[in-house]
Amino acid sequence: MDTSTSYGQQLRSLGQYLEAQRIHIFELTCRGERFVVKGEPEKETSLLAALRQWQQRRRSDGLNASLTFTRNDLDQLERQGRGQRKQSNRLPDFYSLPNALRTVGQYLELKGAELLELQKRQLSLTVLSRNKDGHPQMEERSLASFYDLFLKLHDKRGKTPSR
């Protein structure tokens, strides 16, 4: 990973994009400077939503295709997301996809680990990473297990001086 951009920033940006596409269950693979995501949007139950999905499938080559994000893509998503974020003193929603992924990214940074793969399910995730010694490590964790870290990191960001 390039140290100029953190996993926290990269994964938050990806989370904003995936959340907007209603993709909440997915597999993410890190291939050098690229992230490859495989997942499908949640299905809506209304007739109008079903019609919209049918039209989208006709216009695209299918929703099952993987999405690839480069460094430039992530930078652009970060700029777009920055304008949408709230600048209030309120605690953000931990269970929103961008905040959950940001926390996981910062967890990896604190461990000095390199992200290899992440599988996100409804309430849990599996993280495959490479530790400082170069050994692979797999962790199966609930999203809730990251909540205390989320609070600590949020407090820390709130205490940093304004520029």
pLDDT of 47: 76
Residue 23 pLDDT > 50, yes or no?
yes
Q: Where are the domains of the chain?
A: 7-159
> Across all residues in the chain, what is the average pLDDT?
84
The set of residues, in sequence order, having a beta carbon less than 8 Å from that of 47 and lying 6+ positions away, is none
The set of residues, in sequence order, having a beta carbon less than 8 Å from that of 71 and lying 6+ positions away, is 2, 5, 33
Contact indicator for 34, 69 with CB cutoff of 8 Å: yes
pLDDT bracket for residue 32 (50, 70, 90): confident
Segment 76-109, tens digit of pLDDT: 988 887 766 665 666 778 889 999 999 999 999 9
Please tell me which residue, 46 or 29, carries the higher pLDDT value.
Answer: 29
Contact indicator for 18, 97 with CB cutoff of 8 Å: yes
Residue 1 pLDDT > 60, yes or no?
no
Work out the average pLDDT over 19-31: 93
Work out the average pLDDT over 106-123: 94
Residue 2 pLDDT > 70, yes or no?
no
DSSP annotation of 145 reads G
Sign for the CA dihedral angle at 63, 139, 149, 158 comes to negative
Work out the average pLDDT over 60-65: 54
> Residue 2 has which token pair?
């390039």
